[in-house]
Amino acid sequence: MNSGILAGTGLAAACGWNTFAPLLVLALADRITSGDLLGTGAGSASDHPFAFISSLAGILVWLFLMTLELVLDKIPRMDHLLDVLGSVFRPCSAALCFMAIGHHDSSIHPVLAMAFGLVIGGVIHWDKAKRRLALAERSLGLGTPFVSMTEDGVSIITATLSLLLGVLGPIMAVLSWMLVRATYRWSSTFGEATIASARARAGLRR
């Protein structure tokens, strides 16, 4: 299997956890490699349809949106609003990343790349949104910042390693998913214990 497909798998999964971080990673990687990934070097615009990702305007947009997501995703209830918006943006971001890296080595047809990206990013997002709702019900969202930081971290790491070596893409996606699941379990236990402790102290004061 070509490296573009493997790297695209990792990038798409990373977009399921954080919408814009993988796009920023891809844009910066293209700048570091002097346009080798997205073809921002020599050639016509029609030959490099994804060059806009690593343009100066593109990088500034991804940086701003990523920062906004990083902050809001750690606030209970606001994270649910982001997940609603993410139902559209995360799969689309995943499809864009998969199409861009697949175009780099012509390893996959753009339509297939878009389909794979939409499915992978959508599945990861759905799993994330479902677990966030369960966490809010069990622990009032007290563990939200912990799982959010973990998701941000694995998104950036998975995207970076996917670009460094394609085969690491799906491997890191699976390992990251396992780590995220473990973090949700810990955060749920932490939140429930915190609530129980607060209720016990309130009972003693009475």
pLDDT over 90 at 91, yes or no: yes
Q: Which residues contact 15 (CB under 8 A, 6 or more apart)?
A: 22, 23, 90, 91, 93, 94, 97, 117, 121, 124, 155
15 or 166: which carries more pLDDT confidence?
A: 15
Over residues 81-92, the mean pLDDT reads 94
Q: Which residues contact 120 (CB under 8 A, 6 or more apart)?
A: 9, 12, 13, 16, 94, 98, 173
pLDDT of residue 76: 79
Cα(6)–Cα(109) distance, integer angstroms: 14
Picking from 45-54, 62-71, 108-117, 128-137, which range would have the lowest pLDDT averaged per residue? 45-54
Cα(56)–Cα(125) distance, integer angstroms: 28
